[in-house]
Structure 1
């Protein structure tokens, strides 16, 4: 799915581009920071675990994962990723996922990237529902989703194993189309 052009962002700090294997070291560096990791379900033992993710990203299967790099306009440095870790063309649904390096938190990057991806999915992928799950402790993600018009639908108890422990996740959705 790397041939798909990313949406344009209304953000002067960053832009989106296809994610590639050369991004793995920068991506891994911030994903493994304790204050980032504690609010995610990532289970990375080494950078090799992250490199395996690129097999799905490089697949030609239209239902495979679709993810873009969030990069600084000033330097081209990767500061985050955003995309859909599951797509259903049959049901016209997708589940959005994103992550951001702590050095750029609080600058409006996540809400602008999330809004652009959701609008893009409704307009270019013909989606009718975009959903998101957020670890119950991830207040920052909850705020981003609510800023982007997502509505909380409920609590998914023991939804995913997070580093060996069953954890609760909020489910949010935005519908359109």
Structure 2
């Protein structure tokens, strides 16, 4: 997973790049379901061999405002199979059962595959955020999407 996130060519839409396995392990170990915290992350694994091919979860969780931001990443070899969409739909459905009413997502404006995941998962476009994310020293625009429980 560290190699996936560090790979600029294979993961151009990811704005967080751990510097190595140690930093990634620290992040993973800080997120577990048995304590409340600002983030929760789940592995995406292939059913056939249980190999981890990505992750999906929430950060910026606010139980006060019943909201969170979803994020996901998937190894490029797994793109185009519907895994990210299935994972996104699944965690959003779960989050609604946990008392959240709003899930939002910010996507770098050029990341068309991620935009399709959100649209297929029932998210709606809310706005354009100028110079919102810094990636490799450059400010990038992002698009805000949301899924709101009705």
Same structural fold, with TM-score higher than 0.5 when normalized by the shorter chain: yes
Q: Which residue of structure 1 aligns with residue 129 of structure 2?
A: 156
Q: How many residues align?
A: 150
1:55 Cα deviation (Å)?
4.3
More deviation, 50-59/164-173? 50-59
Match for residue 62 of structure 1 among 28, 36, 39: 36
> Pairwise mapping of residues 13-52 of structure 1 onto structure 2 (< 5 A)?
27-52=1-26
Instruction: Check whether the contact 1:69–1:81 (CA below 8 A) recurs between aligned residues.
Output: yes
Kindly report the root-mean-square deviation, in angstroms, between the aligned alpha carbons of the 2 structures: 1.6
Q: 1:49, 1:72 → 2: CA distance? A: 24
More deviation, 57-66/74-83? 57-66
Q: Which residue of structure 2 aligns with residue 173 of structure 1?
A: 146
1:81 Cα deviation (Å)?
0.3
1:61 Cα deviation (Å)?
4.6
Matched, 1:119 2:93: yes
Instruction: Check whether the contact 2:54–2:72 (CA below 8 A) recurs between aligned residues.
Output: yes
**Does the residue aligned with 2:122 lie in a helix, a strand or coil?**
coil
Instruction: Check whether the contact 1:158–1:169 (CA below 8 A) recurs between aligned residues.
Output: yes
**Does the residue aligned with 2:10 lie in a helix, a strand or coil?**
helix
Instruction: Check whether the contact 2:33–2:40 (CA below 8 A) recurs between aligned residues.
Output: no
Pick 1 or 2: higher relative contact order, CA cutoff 8 A, min separation 6. Answer: 1
**Does the residue aligned with 2:99 lie in a helix, a strand or coil?**
coil
Q: 2:133, 2:35 → 1: CA distance? A: 25
TM-score by length of 1: 0.79
1:42 Cα deviation (Å)?
1.5
Matched, 1:142 2:109: no
Matched, 1:72 2:46: yes
Q: After superposition, what is the alpha-carbon deviation per residue over 1:130-175, rounded to whole angstroms, capped at 9, x for unaligned? A: 0001011110000010011101111111112112111111110010
**Does the residue aligned with 1:36 lie in a helix, a strand or coil?**
coil
Q: 2:79, 2:11 → 1: CA distance? A: 14
**Does the residue aligned with 1:141 lie in a helix, a strand or coil?**
helix
Q: 2:29, 2:86 → 1: CA distance? A: 27
